[in-house]
Copies of this chain bind each other. A is one copy, B any other.
């Protein structure tokens, strides 16, 4: 469908509540993100994907930047929920789950993932960095709270460093997959858990509080 056809009123969107319509435009954006470099997604793509008029697009979003940030909010909200499994599982299982979910997320949204982690072009969207930082902070807080470990400076530094290592490894895996030279995902997931255990254990020499998390990871 061309943009002109949509604007000319060939499209008959079914009646939706304003909040539903907004969510629908966000869903169309997310679906496009999985198929196209996200900084190349235009309002014309969105209206074609959602089957609505261009005028309708601008009734909900003043610009592509505004829609981008709304889509990113949706994605990062979902990601935080996805990363944290029910608390009744042992901590190791929870961490394994979080690692697994981040790989799945990166595969579902490769171009936004790459752009956000690399902070390359296309993440000029104001507020994007803050949203990603919030996922990081929430994840770190949850890991420490669930291990009943105090957020001392060395423990925070260790877990934060490991989050960086996790993001970087998933990024490498994602880009290596294209060239069919990625290490096997399930092996990388084990390796990542092993790295966290080793890093936390090494930190106990600097911060006795790290022992609480080290125990939880056994």
Give the B-binding residues of A (Cβ under 8 A): 118-120, 153-154, 157-158, 160-161, 164-165, 168-169, 172, 183, 187, 190-191, 194-195, 197-199, 201-203, 205-206
Contact = CB atoms under 8 A, between A and B. Distances in A.
A197 B191 contact: no
A136 to B, nearest CB: 12
A163 B60 CA distance: 44
Main secondary structure on chain A at its contact with chain B?
helix
Contacts of A198: 198-199, 201-202
B187 A195 contact: no
A195 B159 CA distance: 12
A153 B182 CA distance: 9
Contacts of A165: 161, 164-165
A202 B194 contact: yes
A44 to B, nearest CB: 28
Contacts of A194: 202-203, 205-206
A209 to B, nearest CB: 14
Contact of A154 (B164, B183, B197, B206): B183
B195 A161 contact: yes
A59 to B, nearest CB: 33
A206 B154 CA distance: 27
